[in-house]
């Protein structure tokens, strides 16, 4: 997409953190913005902030794990703005734990939000973008954890790897339609992501005993979400697929690639696979 100005953007998880920053960057570049979040109070706060930029800012409470709620988000966007061009599937949560000790209901919870929330956004809005014939762009928020497996974060890693693979597929499939795809893979950013696990179903609303959070210190000293917001808006206009934020993490990604290459070489050297 060559320009954002005059387009309509939908941002999920827009009530805080990276989603809020992306929404602001898109608004500052002239997009009408539909803010979506599960927390109506946060939505109202962000709407008030962005209406200082311009008045084409609207809100729609939305649980992205519910496909009917995402359908309502699409209908509300069309009713308010008449179109949708940029869809930022950003809502997400974090969940860790030891294998064998993670409640299956918590697994379903994080998959429903982090992966199926992206799927719901694409499956709901893609027919709209295609019918308009004006191109468009999807931004799917993954994580650097979609490229490297961080110990202790199995459920989070699994969903983020899935979003990366899904986005890579979409990029190839939607290019003929003039619809771009970016997958946002940030490292540590100053957001509330490390506290979202407190809402996991197995807790039943109870407050757990105080415990160390492996992500807490790294997140609280992370980069400014505003920089990620600007970086994302720039990528929409330039059509970049992968959006990384931390050059210091490149060696981890390279080490994984080297391990894959080493074990692939072992396969190539085995006569059983010589003709495969």
Active site residue 156: yes
| Cα separation, 231 vs 244, whole angstroms | 9
| Cα separation, 161 vs 257, whole angstroms | 14
Q: Classify residue 192 by its DSSP letter.
A: S
Q: 11: which residues sit within 8 A by CB, 6+ positions away?
A: 19, 22, 23, 26, 33, 34, 35, 36, 88, 90
Distances (CA, A) of 82 to 25, 31, 137, 138, 163: 21, 13, 17, 18, 28
Q: What is the SS3 assignment for 125-169?
A: HHHHHHHHCCCEEEEEECCHHHCCCCCCEHHHHHHHHHHHHHHHH
Which residue among 156, 161, 166, 242 is the active-site one? 156
The catalytic residue positions are 156
């Amino acid at each position: 997409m060559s320009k954002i100005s005059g387009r309509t953007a939908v941002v999920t998880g827009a009530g805080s953190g990276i989603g809020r920053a992306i929404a602001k960057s898109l608004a500052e570049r002239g997009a009408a913005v539909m803010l979506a979040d599960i927390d109506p109070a946060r939505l109202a706060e962000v709407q008030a902030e962005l209406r200082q930029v311009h008045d084409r800012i609207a809100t729609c409470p939305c649980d992205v794990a519910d496909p009917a709620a995402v359908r309502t988000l699409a209908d509300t966007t069309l009713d308010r703005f008449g179109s949708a061009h940029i869809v930022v599937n950003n809502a997400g949560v974090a969940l860790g734990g030891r294998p064998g000790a993670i409640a299956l209901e918590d697994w379903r919870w994080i998959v429903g939000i982090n992966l199926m929330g992206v799927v719901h956004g694409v499956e709901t809005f893609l027919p709209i973008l295609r019918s308009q014939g004006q191109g468009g762009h999807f931004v799917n928020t993954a994580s650097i954890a979609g490229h490297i497996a961080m110990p202790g974060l199995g459920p989070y890693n699994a969903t983020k790897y899935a979003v990366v693979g899904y986005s890579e597929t979409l990029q190839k499939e939607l290019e003929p339609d003039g619809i771009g795809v970016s997958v946002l893979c940030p490292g540590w950013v100053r957001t509330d992501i490390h506290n979202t696990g407190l809402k996991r179903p197995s807790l039943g609303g109870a407050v757990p005993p105080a415990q160390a959070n492996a992500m807490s210190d790294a997140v609280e000293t992370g980069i400014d979400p505003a920089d990620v917001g600007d970086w994302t808006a720039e990528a929409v206009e330039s059509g970049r697929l992968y959006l990384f934020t931390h050059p210091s993490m490149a060696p981890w990604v390279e080490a994984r690639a080297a391990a894959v290459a080493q074990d692939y070489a072992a396969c190539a050297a085995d006569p059983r696979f010589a003709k495969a």
